[in-house]
Amino acid sequence: MNKFIRVDMTTLKVTTEEVPAQYAGLGGRALTSNFVAAEVKPTCHALGKNNKLIFAPGLLSGTSAPNSGRLSVGAKSPLTGTIKESNAGGSFSQKMAKMGIKAFTIEGMPADDKFYVIKIDMNGVTIEEAPAEILGGCGNYEAIKILSEKYGAKVGIGLAGPAGENRLPSANISFKDPEGNIRSAGRGGLGAVLGSKKVKAIVIDDNGAPGVPVADPEKFKAASKIFAKAMLDHPVAGQGLAAYGTNVLVNILNEAGGLPAKNFTAGRIDYNDNISGETLNATITERGGDGKVSHGCHAGCIIRCSQWYPDKDGKYITSGFEYETIWGLGADAGIQSLDDIAYCDREMDDIGVDSIETAVAVATAMEGGLIPYGDGKAALEAIKEIRKPTPLGRILGSGTAVVGKVCGLFRTPVVKDQGIPAYDPRPIKGIGLTYATSTMGADHTAGYCISGNILKVGADIDPLKKDGQIEYSRAMQIGTASVDSTGMCLFVYFGVADNPGGYQALIDMINAQYGINLTATDVDKLGESVLKVERAFNKAAGFTNAHDRLPEFFEYEPCPPHNAVWDFTPEEIDEVYAFENEGACNC
Amino acid sequence: MNKFIRVDMTTLKVTTEEVPAQYAGLGGRALTSNFVAAEVKPTCHALGKNNKLIFAPGLLSGTSAPNSGRLSVGAKSPLTGTIKESNAGGSFSQKMAKMGIKAFTIEGMPADDKFYVIKIDMNGVTIEEAPAEILGGCGNYEAIKILSEKYGAKVGIGLAGPAGENRLPSANISFKDPEGNIRSAGRGGLGAVLGSKKVKAIVIDDNGAPGVPVADPEKFKAASKIFAKAMLDHPVAGQGLAAYGTNVLVNILNEAGGLPAKNFTAGRIDYNDNISGETLNATITERGGDGKVSHGCHAGCIIRCSQWYPDKDGKYITSGFEYETIWGLGADAGIQSLDDIAYCDREMDDIGVDSIETAVAVATAMEGGLIPYGDGKAALEAIKEIRKPTPLGRILGSGTAVVGKVCGLFRTPVVKDQGIPAYDPRPIKGIGLTYATSTMGADHTAGYCISGNILKVGADIDPLKKDGQIEYSRAMQIGTASVDSTGMCLFVYFGVADNPGGYQALIDMINAQYGINLTATDVDKLGESVLKVERAFNKAAGFTNAHDRLPEFFEYEPCPPHNAVWDFTPEEIDEVYAFENEGACNC
Q: Helical H runs in A354-437?
A: 355-367, 376-384, 391-397, 400-406, 429-437
A168:B402 CB<8 A: no
Residue of chain B whose Cα is closest to the Cα of A166: B408
Mean pLDDT of A130-144: 97
Chain B residues with CB inside 8 Å of A50's CB? 552
Residues of chain B above pLDDT 70, percent: 99
- CB of B394 within 8 Å of any CB in chain A? yes
- CB of A43 within 8 Å of any CB in chain B? yes
**pLDDT per position as a tens digit, B58-75:** 999 999 999 999 999 999
pLDDT per residue of chain B (587 residues) written in tens, 0 to 9: 789 999 999 999 999 999 999 999 999 999 999 999 999 999 999 999 999 999 999 999 999 999 999 999 999 999 999 999 999 999 999 999 999 999 999 999 999 999 999 999 999 999 999 999 999 999 999 999 999 999 999 999 999 999 999 999 999 999 999 899 999 999 999 999 999 999 999 999 999 999 999 999 999 999 999 999 999 999 988 888 989 999 999 999 999 999 999 999 999 999 999 999 999 999 999 999 999 999 998 888 999 999 999 999 999 999 999 999 999 999 999 999 999 999 999 999 999 999 999 999 999 999 999 999 999 999 999 999 999 999 999 999 999 999 999 999 999 999 999 999 999 999 999 999 999 999 999 999 999 999 999 999 999 999 999 999 999 999 999 999 999 999 999 999 999 999 999 999 999 999 999 999 999 999 999 999 999 999 999 999 999 999 999 999 999 999 999 999 999 999 999 999 999 877 555 44
Strand partners, A74: A54, A85
**pLDDT per position as a tens digit, A97-136:** 999 999 999 999 999 999 999 999 999 999 999 999 999 9
CA–CA distance, A95 with A98 (Å, rounded to integer): 5
- The DSSP-derived string for A64-123 is S-TT---EEEEEE-TTTSSEEEEEE-SSHHHHHHHTTEEEEEEES--SSS--EEEEEETT
A542:B546 CB<8 A: yes
- Spell out a b/e string for B16-42, using b for 16 or more CB atoms within 10 Å of the CB, else e: eeebeeebeebbbbbbbbbbbbebbbb
**pLDDT per position as a tens digit, B360-418:** 999 999 999 999 999 999 999 999 999 999 999 999 999 999 999 999 999 999 999 99
The predicted pLDDT at position A585 comes to 53
| Predicted confidence (pLDDT) at residue A68 exceeds the cutoff of 90 | yes
The predicted pLDDT at position A580 comes to 85
Q: Please say whether the beta carbons of A176 and A148 come within 8 A.
A: yes
- CB of A542 within 8 Å of any CB in chain B? yes
CB atoms within 10 A of CB A11: 10
| Residue B540 Cα distances to A535, B24, B543, angstroms | 18, 24, 7
The predicted pLDDT at position B401 comes to 98
B406:A390 CB<8 A: no
User: Across the interface, which of B391, B541, B553 has its CB nearest the CB of A546?
Assistant: B541
**pLDDT per position as a tens digit, B234-291:** 998 888 898 999 999 999 999 999 999 999 999 999 999 999 999 999 999 999 999 9
- CB of A410 within 8 Å of any CB in chain B? yes
C-alpha gyration radius of chain A: 22
A398:B406 CB<8 A: yes
Which residue out of B386, B394, B411 would a mutagenesis test of the A interface target, given it has the greatest number of A Cβ atoms within 10 Å? B394
Helix axes A500-514, A217-233, angle to 10 degrees: 150
- A186 CA to centre of own chain: 5
**pLDDT per position as a tens digit, A291-331:** 999 999 888 899 999 999 999 999 999 999 999 999 999 99
Q: How far is B51 from chain A (nearest CA, A)?
A: 11
Residues in chain B, overall count: 587
**pLDDT per position as a tens digit, A216-250:** 999 999 999 999 999 999 998 888 898 999 999 99
Chain A residues with CB inside 8 Å of B76's CB? none
User: Across the interface, which of B395, B539, B552 has its CB nearest the CB of A44?
Assistant: B552
Query: Which one-letter DSSP state was computed for residue B240?
Result: I
B552:A48 CB<8 A: yes
Instruction: Pick the closest to residue B401 from B252, B547, B586, B289 (CA basis).
Output: B547
Dihedral sign from CA coordinates of B500, B501, B504, B506: negative
| pLDDT interval class at A581 (50, 70, 90) | confident
Residue of chain A whose Cα is closest to the Cα of B544: A542
CA–CA distance, B449 with B463 (Å, rounded to integer): 9
Please enumerate, as own/partner, the contacts of A453-462 that have beta carbons within 8 Å and a separation of 24 or more: A453/A428, A453/A429, A454/A252, A454/A253, A454/A256, A454/A258, A454/A423, A454/A428, A455/A236, A455/A252, A455/A494, A457/A234, A457/A236, A457/A493, A457/A494, A457/A497, A457/A498, A458/A493, A458/A494, A458/A497, A458/A498, A459/A497, A461/A430
Q: Which of residues 49-68 of A touch B (CB under 8 A)?
A: 49-50
| pLDDT interval class at A587 (50, 70, 90) | very low
At A275, which amino acid appears? I
Supply φ then ψ for residue A159, to 5 degrees. Answer: -150, 160
- CB of A541 within 8 Å of any CB in chain B? yes
Chain B residues with CB inside 8 Å of A168's CB? 406, 408
**pLDDT per position as a tens digit, A428-464:** 999 999 999 999 999 999 999 999 999 999 999 999 9
**pLDDT per position as a tens digit, A520-557:** 999 999 999 999 999 999 999 999 999 999 999 999 99
Which residues are CB-neighbours of B212 under 8 A, at least 6 positions away? B1, B61, B62, B63, B97, B98, B513
CB pairs under 8 A between A and B: 118
At B500, which amino acid appears? P
The predicted pLDDT at position A273 comes to 98
Residues in chain A, overall count: 587
CB atoms within 10 A of CB B210: 10
Q: How far is A166 from chain B (nearest CA, A)?
A: 7
- Which helix (H) or strand (E) segment holds residue A460: the answer is none
The predicted pLDDT at position A297 comes to 87
**pLDDT per position as a tens digit, A26-62:** 999 999 999 999 999 999 999 999 999 999 999 999 9
Strand partners, A103: A4
CA–CA distance, A444 with A260 (Å, rounded to integer): 14
- CB of B542 within 8 Å of any CB in chain A? yes
Instruction: Pick the closest to residue A175 from A127, A140, A138 (CA basis).
Output: A140
B397:A390 CB<8 A: no
- CB of B11 within 8 Å of any CB in chain A? no
The residue with greater pLDDT, A390 or A178, is: A390
| pLDDT interval class at A263 (50, 70, 90) | very high
CA–CA distance, A29 with A182 (Å, rounded to integer): 21
Chain B residues with CB inside 8 Å of A402's CB? 398, 402, 405-406
Residue of chain A whose Cα is closest to the Cα of B168: A408
A405:B398 CB<8 A: yes
SS (H, E, C) A95-110: HHHHCCEEEEEEECCC
How many CA atoms, within 13 angstroms, populate the side-chain half-sphere of residue B564?
A: 24
Structural domains for chain B: 3-204 (3.60.9.10)
CA–CA distance, A560 with A256 (Å, rounded to integer): 11
- What's the ipTM? 0.97
Q: Please say whether the beta carbons of A515 and A508 come within 8 A.
A: no
Which residue out of B167, B402, B410, B412 would a mutagenesis test of the A interface target, given it has the greatest number of A Cβ atoms within 10 Å? B410
Q: Which of residues 154-183 of B touch A (CB under 8 A)?
A: 166-169
The predicted pLDDT at position B237 comes to 87
The predicted pLDDT at position B587 comes to 46
Instruction: Pick the closest to residue B84 from B50, B24, B35, B157 (CA basis).
Output: B35
- CB of A369 within 8 Å of any CB in chain B? no
The predicted pLDDT at position B168 comes to 98
Chain B residues with CB inside 8 Å of A407's CB? 167, 394
Q: Please say whether the beta carbons of B291 and B245 come within 8 A.
A: no
The predicted pLDDT at position A238 comes to 87
